[in-house]
Amino acid sequence: LTSYCAVPNPAEFAHLSPKINHMRAMDDSDHSGSARCSEELSNGEKVAVSSVATSMRQVLHAIGENTEREGLRKTPERFANALLECTRGYDADPVALGKTALFDAESYTDMVLVADNEYFSLCEHHILPFFGTVDIAYEPNKYIIGLSKVSRIVDIVARKLQVQERLSEEIASVIQEITDAQGVAVRIRGTHMCMRMRGARATSATTTTFAYRGTFRGDATRRQQFLSQLSK
């Protein structure tokens, strides 16, 4: 068994979408929200930002806010840019990314576990955040994947409107497609703000989901090996 703990580095994603450099510029802007490099947005992205900002301004009016007061004057644009960043997964191909870092397995066929990959996503039902960690194991067939790519794949697939169940299945399918592994196992643990902030207000609730492919789906012993490693 080979076990790794991998944490994604946001700086690695700069090449995946032209939006991201703009988002960093927004972070560096003053509190009025003026962007320092809006020219980095494509025409389509500028249209998207404008459209979302206009809609958010209407939302703020609808809840009784004054969008001309200092604290809210640039909030619609900030929200629009933040939403584009949080959904940047729509602009990237995780399979293509993963295939840039495939290596000969050199006869290694035991389980590879890449644990505690952090993720952040948006619940598609309420557009509120959910976040946590993803544990991924696979049994190589002919290829192994570069470890940093695993965390980057998690980030890409998560940065969309999601539900945790589908997120688990999509990550498992992507890893399977990239590596052609004998088997893939995924566990996701999530904290959902739609449960904690509203509705049931279950402030201590967490959600765990699993997805299996190949040998892990058909062999209870392999699943138990995967789960036993996660408990250590």
Strand-pairing partners, residue 190, are 132, 207
Cite the active site residues: 123-126, 164, 192, 194
Task: Assess contact for 139 and 110: CB atoms under 8 A.
Answer: yes
Residue 80 has a CB neighbour count (10 Å cut-off) of 22
Q: How far is CA 55 from CA 58, 76, 232, in A?
A: 5, 8, 48
Vertex 230: Cα angle to 102 and 124 (nearest 5): 75
**Residue 150 and residue 123: Cα distance in Å, rounded?**
22
Residue 26 has a CB neighbour count (10 Å cut-off) of 22
Vertex 173: Cα angle to 209 and 167 (nearest 5): 40
Residue 33 has a CB neighbour count (10 Å cut-off) of 16
